């Protein structure tokens, strides 16, 4: 048999498939195609505004503290508060011996102690949060960015935090934690659920259902446009105050909602019920503004009377106020100890 016959009898693989496997060796399977890193929870394009939510949150937190605030690496006695004269029964270990060497007086050095706290972060994902005016980001995206920045700040401070999203009822909940993995779980949930808000708002009923989940006393932060029954809402908040929660309300609003757009004719659509009406904005502007001002005044008066922190967050303004408000609320937990 010549070499040509041998080649013809050999079992050659089809063209383009590579050489046959060597004797005694199993063929190596082709590599699997790489999985896309894009989210499979939502259709393409929906998450465009949410890209790099973690990077955004970290840059906001870093920029907020750059050159202004002290380090966030707290210890059990990281910040000096004051000196106190030693009294019989005080722990000798707390005596400042350097002060004694200089003044021959026994003094106790007192510090501010950082207590670990749990923050319950609650974000509105009802239909009204989908409103987006031309040239500004949607309220839901604004709320998601605020929540992401707050969660990142909490994680850096070593605080436990949870995330709950609601419309009529709680529709997503990430239990409290403080790890980096937990932060990523919260940001993933934010991206998936706040990108397409839907449904009517019932903040009071949703908080009633949240109450059994929020077992540990801490800080309750609600991010919403508060287009809900305020009587029911504040009654629901009362149970958390009774249990000793500190409450912070972050009120997200767009200029169009406060003033009405300046157009000759408009068709207004209820983003929760779908009902619509065509009107001339100038004809109803005065009455509408009066209603909005009454709502804002009601929020202000109720929060002042109940000792609740309330901050108005406009979509045309940055997120700094939200971080300042959280730090102010957190500061209430700090106590002095020898």
| Tens-place pLDDT, residues 4-35 | 554 454 444 444 455 565 555 555 555 544 44
Average the pLDDT over each of 38-42, 193-197, 286-290 and give the range with the smallest value.
38-42
> What is the model's pLDDT at position 165?
95
> What is the model's pLDDT at position 41?
37
- What radius of gyration do the chain's Cα atoms show? 29
Q: Which residue has the higher pLDDT, 279 or 296?
A: 296
> What is the model's pLDDT at position 207?
95
Q: Which residue has the higher pLDDT, 247 or 42?
A: 247
pLDDT, tens digit (0-9, with 9 covering 90-100), for 29-69: 555 444 433 333 334 444 455 556 666 566 666 665 544 44
Cα 173 from Cα 150, distance rounded (Å): 16
Helix (H, G, I), strand (E, B) or coil at 219: strand
End-to-end CA distance of the chain: 99
> What is the model's pLDDT at position 209?
94
Average the pLDDT over each of 59-68, 177-186, 230-239, 320-329 and give the range with the smallest value.
59-68
> What is the model's pLDDT at position 28?
55
Element (H, E) at 284: helix 281-306
Q: Which residue has the higher pLDDT, 58 or 107?
A: 107
Which among 12-26, 81-95, 199-213 has the top mean pLDDT? 199-213
Q: Which residue has the higher pLDDT, 52 or 232?
A: 232
Question: 138: closest CA among 194, 200, 201, 221?
Answer: 194
Average the pLDDT over each of 45-59, 153-167, 176-190, 252-266 and give the range with the smallest value.
45-59
- At residue 305 the predicted structure's pLDDT band, cuts being 50, 70 and 90, is very high
Taking residues 247-263, report their average pLDDT.
84
> What is the model's pLDDT at position 170?
94
Q: Which residue has the higher pLDDT, 89 or 162?
A: 162
Nearest-10 Cα torsion for 250, 256, 257, 260: 160
- At residue 71 the predicted structure's pLDDT band, cuts being 50, 70 and 90, is very low
- Could you list the beta-strand ranges (E) of the chain: 79-85, 107-113, 118-124, 160-166, 170-177, 219-224, 246-253, 266-269, 276-279, 309-314, 335-337
pLDDT at 264 over 50: yes
> What is the model's pLDDT at position 213?
93
Instruction: Using a cut of 0.85, tell me whether the model's pTM lies above it.
Output: no
> Of all residues in the chain, what percent carry a pLDDT higher than 90?
28
pLDDT at 265 over 90: no
Average the pLDDT over each of 13-22, 37-46, 75-84, 298-307 and give the range with the smallest value.
37-46
pLDDT at 230 over 90: yes
Q: Which residue has the higher pLDDT, 326 or 206?
A: 206
pLDDT at 178 over 80: yes
- At residue 248 the predicted structure's pLDDT band, cuts being 50, 70 and 90, is very high
Task: Classify 125 in phi/psi space as left (phi over 0), alpha (psi -120 to 50) or beta.
Answer: alpha
């Amino acid at each position: 048999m010549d070499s040509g016959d041998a080649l013809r009898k050999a079992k050659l693989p089809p063209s383009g498939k590579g050489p046959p496997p060597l004797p005694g060796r199993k063929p190596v399977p082709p590599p699997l195609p790489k999985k896309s890193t894009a989210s499979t929870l939502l259709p393409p394009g929906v998450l465009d505004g949410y890209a790099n939510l973690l990077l955004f949150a970290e840059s906001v937190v870093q920029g907020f503290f750059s050159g202004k605030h002290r380090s966030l690496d707290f210890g059990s006695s990281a910040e000096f508060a004051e000196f106190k004269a030693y009294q019989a029964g005080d722990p000798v270990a707390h005596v400042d011996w350097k002060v004694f060497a200089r003044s021959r007086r026994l003094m106790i050095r007192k510090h501010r102690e950082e207590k670990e706290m749990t923050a319950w972060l609650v974000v509105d994902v009802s239909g009204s949060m989908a409103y987006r005016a031309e040239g500004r980001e949607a309220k839901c995206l604004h709320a998601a960015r605020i929540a992401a920045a707050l969660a990142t700040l909490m994680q850096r401070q070593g605080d436990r935090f949870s995330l709950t999203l609601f419309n009529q009822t709680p529709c997503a909940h990430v239990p409290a934690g403080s790890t980096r993995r937990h932060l990523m779980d919260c940001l993933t949930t934010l991206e998936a659920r706040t990108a397409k808000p839907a449904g009517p708002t019932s903040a009071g009923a949703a908080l009633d259902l949240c109450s059994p989940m929020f077992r540990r006393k801490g800080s309750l932060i609600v991010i919403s446009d508060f287009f809900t029954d305020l009587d029911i809402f504040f009654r629901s908040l009362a149970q958390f105050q009774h249990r000793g929660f500190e409450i912070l309300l972050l009120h997200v609003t767009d200029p169009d909602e406060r003033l009405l757009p300046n157009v000759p004719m408009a068709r207004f659509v209820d983003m929760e019920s779908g009902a619509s009406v065509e009107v001339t904005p100038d004809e109803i502007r005065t009455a509408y503004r009066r209603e909005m001002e009454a709502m804002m005044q009601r929020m202000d008066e109720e929060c002042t009377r109940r000792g609740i922190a309330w901050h108005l967050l406009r979509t045309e303004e940055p997120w700094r106020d939200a971080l300042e408000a959280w730090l102010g609320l957190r500061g209430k937990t700090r106590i002095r100890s020898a």
